[in-house]
Structure 1
Amino acid sequence: MLVVENGTVLRGASLRPERTNILIEDDIIAEITPDRIPGSNRIDASGFMVAPALVNSHVHLGDSVAMDVGDGRPLEDIVRPPNGLKHQILESSPRWKLKASMKDAMADMMAHGTGSFIDYREGGFSGIELLTEAMADLPLKGMILGRDPAVFDPEASNAEVRRAVRRILQVSDGFAPSGMGEITDEAARIIVDECERMGKVASIHVAEHPESQRRSLEETGRTEVERALDAGFKLLVHLTNPVRDDLEIVRESGASVVLCPRSNGALSAGIPPVKRMHEMGINLLLGTDNVMFNSPDLLREMEYTLKVTRGSTGEYFPPLEVLRMTTVNASEITGGGVIEEGFPADLMITEKLSTDPYLSIINRTESKNIIYLIIKGKLVKR
């Protein structure tokens, strides 16, 4: 049992600031009340903010073995499977080095307030096993979405693709091919079908670069977004370069979109239309993408997202909505990101550095300002 008392709590789906006390029992938020809660194990959060621990909804931890390699090269040279630069490095790196670099990246995430993440893991069964080993003695909560080379093989039969997907889903939380440009529409449908059958997550990268959209239109007559939604994917990554009616059909489908603005900037892929998607009611999440060219720091991701959105549109965008992208908007997928009774006890207790609670976190908070990080009801940073 743990009591967090006297803090300014960013409570519920609205992240409404509220001076209150939190009782944690069995890793769950058992009670939120303004009344004093008895108990000897207590944290006095007077003068501090209590926010949900952050959720990184798209990261490639394996790429931490190749930080800042390939800068300036075309996107496809770096990340397109199976022969992109990062895939060559992942293939040639020893397991101990991959594991150590992933552990370092996860420690970096926790130092900057992240309590859970969704990793898009290359390397098939072995790659999933390696990340599982790397996170085994860490409190960080991870969802692993795997992939298998068979889905990229144009010669593979539908039966072979289905077997490969089922094999990955036995040891992972879902399946996530790199993009519609690397798989057939039939393979995409098989992936979604198997994920739905097993109650797991199907996700895919779409419209990251204008060139991938152009090629999809040339070869199929449809955009990457149209093809992904037709296959049934409900978690799309990037959507930096929508064309035609892409955003309208995303809204109609109810799919969520994981934005990775710093990654898009690093790779000269563009600026996602964050404000327009938000105004359309699309559920938006944030991820830091490849550790190869980004630190897995969601504090930096939020600040960049807020300011590049305002700068690119010339209009105001509310900081509350950016903080929601790293917390409550991810709750339907990860089950966390919300401070409310019955939710997992994943909390970040920070100094209040300005009068605006949201900008205090987004603009000013650094690792040193995070006084406590609580994951699964346990203190992991103090």
Structure 2
Amino acid sequence: MTSTAAPLDLLLLPTWLVPVEPAGVVLKEHGLGIRDGCIAFIGPRAAAMKLAANEVRELPGMLLSPGLINAHGHAAMSLFRGLADDLPLMTWLEKHIWPAEAKWVDEAFVRDGTNLAIAEQLKGGITCFSDMYFYPKVASDCVHSSGMRAQIAMPILDFPIPGASSADEALRQGIELFGDLKHHPRIKITFGPHAPYTVCDANLEKIRVIAEELDAAIHMHVHETAFEVQQAVEQTGERPLARLARLGLLGPRFQAVHMTQISEDDLALLVESNTSVIHCPESNLKLASGFCPVERLWQAGVNVAIGTDGAASNNDLDLLGETRTAAMLAKAVAGSATALDAHRALRMATLNGARAMGLESQIGSLEVGKAADMVAFDLSGLAQQPIYDPVSQLIYATGRDCVKHLWVAGKQLLDDRQLTRMDEQQLTATAIAWGQRISGHSE
């Protein structure tokens, strides 16, 4: 299971180890060893204790799992958290969010908002996130400094956006950033056409060609609401997903975010193209956008990952809570109590997210040779007792306040609930200052 040539950098001894792959497995009295940022050993505790290790950490009462993967969000929008609540999607966007972005979003906003989001996500057990927002180079700098892992999508719309005066300029920036970071160990650049109703065929075709040349992913809001689909059909006679298929965008590199409206034809397109769906249940619920039929997709063989969406529409970046909501909602939508059981829900929040991003060979499960991206959840509290199935307790009875430790590529970024590289007090003060500035100048 491991080479004994060199000592392990770190040996972890949790009460439960949940590798996610193979599916449904819970290992008790096992150890996990890390060397050079990767998992070098998984085996019984007795065998683990015979190995040389520079550091050994007992994790009593804790469940060690792959780090959670937040497959969709808009990190810097954390600074708009609660700005325009309880409104329909298009009213929320057109009357509140887009005007606020036009007024406030600059490089400083994106830096401060992204750092706030990174800290919140690390404290919630998230080791990798997907971000789709303006000034992606600034966001990637934040990720680099934090030690976290991320997919950064270059936003592309038919009209000017903060940081890019046109779709062509955004594409140029995306290509440049992709080239600059293609060898970065923790950052992956993708292309993010905003939505079918904000990007024309000509620009989508440019994105497809560039993504194919670079072997880059495409991350896009698709079928978020019934209105979006209905409007497209009325105007063009074609459903948005069918249009994307006609233009050649669907495929294993395509990440379709939301997908609350899925016909039999849509499902066939998703299955045939091996497109991933990113499910954002709490944002969809809060904006009354609809319900993604997760169990139907899963049973058809579609890869379904999970995302929080931005804090302006959720209002948190709590992927563990999101996963609990997803599991509950899937049962109600499918009309079946067996839909999306706890083990599959955890898989959706880990390995399925990695697969959607094309990172499944590196992260998403605890396997020898993969990056040591891991989180330790403390299940020793009153509210988790008694424990029959620790994964069920994690999904149905545990909040993100139980996240105790977190590692990315073997580096500990959260130690006993404390951030090791970021100043939480400073981040809080900066966010409060932004809130005062924005609220003081908004009508």
| TM beyond 0.5 | yes
* 1:171 partner SS: helix
Letter in 2 for 1:16: V
Structure 1 residue 307 and structure 2 residue 323: aligned?
A: no
Choose from 326, 330, 333 the match for 2:349.
Answer: 326
**Aligned-pair distance for 1:13?**
4.4
Structure 1 residue 116 and structure 2 residue 128: aligned?
A: yes
Match of 2:317 in 1: 296
**Aligned-pair distance for 1:56?**
0.1
Matches within 5 A, 1:155-194: 164-172=170-178, 173-194=189-210
* 1:285 partner SS: strand
Structure 1 residue 28 and structure 2 residue 45: aligned?
A: no
Match of 2:137 in 1: 129
Q: Distance in 1 between matches of 2:412 and 2:209?
A: 39
Q: Which moved more, 1:8-17 or 1:190-199?
A: 8-17
Letter in 2 for 1:25: R
Q: Which whole-Å deviations, capped at 9, do the CAs of 1:242-265 have from their partners, x for residues lacking one?
A: 235111211111111000010100
Q: Which whole-Å deviations, capped at 9, do the CAs of 1:189-248 have from their partners, x for residues lacking one?
A: 221220121121112111100010011112222211112233323211111012351112
Q: Distance in 2 between matches of 1:311 and 1:319?
A: 15
Q: Which whole-Å deviations, capped at 9, do the CAs of 1:163-202 have from their partners, x for residues lacking one?
A: 6424313215011111111112232122122012112111
Structure 1 residue 204 and structure 2 residue 193: aligned?
A: no
Choose from 77, 80, 89 the match for 2:100.
Answer: 89
Matches within 5 A, 1:68-107: 68-79=82-93, 85-93=96-104, 95-107=107-119
Match of 2:62 in 1: 48
Match of 1:365 in 2: 398
* 2:297 partner SS: helix
Q: Distance in 1 between matches of 2:335 and 2:232?
A: 31
Structure 1 residue 138 and structure 2 residue 158: aligned?
A: no
CA contact (8 A) 2:14 2:63 kept: no
- 152 and 245 in structure 1: CA distance in 2 versus 1, 3 angstrom threshold: farther
CA contact (8 A) 2:107 2:138 kept: yes
Letter in 1 for 2:374: L
Letter in 2 for 1:85: H
* 1:191 partner SS: helix
Match of 1:156 in 2: none
> What is the aligned-residue identity percentage?
23
Match of 1:252 in 2: 272
Q: Distance in 2 between matches of 1:161 and 1:372?
A: 41
Q: Distance in 2 between matches of 1:217 and 1:111?
A: 43
TM-score normalised to structure 2 length: 0.78
- Equivalent residue pairs, number: 368
Letter in 2 for 1:192: R
Structure 1 residue 238 and structure 2 residue 258: aligned?
A: yes
Q: Which moved more, 1:169-178 or 1:337-346?
A: 169-178
- 13 and 117 in structure 1: CA distance in 2 versus 1, 3 angstrom threshold: farther
Letter in 2 for 1:351: D
- 261 and 90 in structure 1: CA distance in 2 versus 1, 3 angstrom threshold: same
Structure 1 residue 147 and structure 2 residue 139: aligned?
A: no
Q: Distance in 1 between matches of 2:269 and 2:36?
A: 42
Choose from 2, 9, 18 the match for 1:10.
Answer: 18
Match of 1:229 in 2: 245
TM-score normalised to structure 1 length: 0.90
Q: Distance in 2 between matches of 1:227 and 1:340?
A: 39
Structure 2: 5+ residue stretches without partners: 1-8, 161-165, 179-188, 417-443
Letter in 2 for 1:132: S
Q: Which moved more, 1:364-373 or 1:48-57?
A: 364-373
**Aligned-pair distance for 1:95?**
4.0
CA contact (8 A) 2:283 2:313 kept: yes
Letter in 2 for 1:176: G
CA contact (8 A) 1:148 1:165 kept: yes
Q: Distance in 1 between matches of 2:295 and 2:323?
A: 14
* 1:270 partner SS: coil
Q: Distance in 2 between matches of 1:244 and 1:40?
A: 55
Matches within 5 A, 1:343-362: 343-352=370-379, 353=384, 354-362=387-395
- 350 and 244 in structure 1: CA distance in 2 versus 1, 3 angstrom threshold: closer
CA contact (8 A) 1:229 1:250 kept: no
Match of 1:273 in 2: 293
Structure 1 residue 62 and structure 2 residue 76: aligned?
A: yes
Match of 1:340 in 2: 367
Q: Which whole-Å deviations, capped at 9, do the CAs of 1:48-94 have from their partners, x for residues lacking one?
A: 21100100000111211211222233312333xxx563232223225
